[in-house]
Amino acid sequence: MTELEFEVSADATGGRVDKCIALRLGEGYSRTFAKTLIDRGHVLVNGRGVKPRYIISSGDLIHVSVPPASENDMKPEEIPLEILYEDDWIIVINKHAGMIVHPGAGNRRGTLVNALLHHTKSLADTGNELRPGIVHRLDKDTSGVLVAAKNDKALRSLSGQFKKRAVKKTYIAIVGGRVEADNGVVDEPIARGVIDRKKMVIDHERGRPSRSIYHVLKRFKEFTVLRVELETGRTHQIRVHMRHIGHPVLGDATYGKEGGMVRQALHAEMIGFTHPETGEYVEFHSPVPDDIMEKIRSGKVVKGES
């Protein structure tokens, strides 16, 4: 445990205590890290705990205890990454199926975050030590394009665009059965399940607005290939919406059926957004992976379809 104690000078009066501590700790320590220390009781001002927004005054005595790095701290790992684009602001990855985006319970190693930490030291502080740079995610068994932020300005820009639904995202999905309509919209609210908290459900009382737009690309005897545009980004949204209309994603062990796939046949093919530095709209594409293409090639065309 590293101990730090200092008295607030007159020229620092009027600032927030979390900002003051981050500046005093020096380069490599963010305001978010200082906030975490305060929230966990590692900071005392004049012998008392305070909130991160506490406004300091000249003469305040601040005591900071910085705990040693824990075994749970994120560790860089030399894991191959398929990088589609990278600059000083963003990094765009083609995530392969089977890779978890960020650590969670029981998954501290082998994630995309571990790989990113090995690749670059520049990842935005998101306020969650397990998710540096992460502004959105893909399910473990969903492949495709994903963007991460490399600095705070990029994080604010991308997070704001996701919040305002200004990010364009399209997916390729293989779903069970024959989807009759060439185009369609599923506009059904989604909430976390009450009984099984790992599953999402359609819930008109508790659910958050969720909207998916689909277009048929190809119909086969036993399945249909769709392009799906997301207007919202709820957890498991496409998987839940497709099951709701009676056409679950193939290979989806949670909401669908095997259908000859060892993983869910869902691929994030494109993401488009305004670049946080240039202000220009950019798009990044990920080619459809071999396992999904092989499933499509194996399909039997319905008579009259081309």
Instruction: Supply the residues annotated as catalytic.
Output: 139
- State the DSSP string of 103-129: -BTTB-SSSHHHHHHHH-S-----S-T
Helix or strand run (H / E) with residue 163:
helix 152-163
Nearest CA-CA partner of 73 in 141, 128, 153: 128
Biggest alpha carbon–alpha carbon distance for the chain: 83
CB 21 within 8 A of CB 34: yes
CB 63 within 8 A of CB 44: yes
The CA distance from 284 to 271, in Å, is 6
Parallel/antiparallel/unpaired status of strands 266-274 and 143-149: parallel
State the DSSP code for 35. Answer: H
Question: N- to C-terminal Cα distance for the chain?
Answer: 68
How far, in whole angstroms, is CA 68 from its chain's centroid? 28
- What backbone phi and psi angles, to 5 degrees, belong to 11? -75, -10
C-alpha span between 106 and 235 (Å, rounded): 20
Q: For residue 177, how far is the Cα from the chain centroid?
A: 30
Contacts of 153 (CB under 8 A, 6+ apart): 89, 276, 277
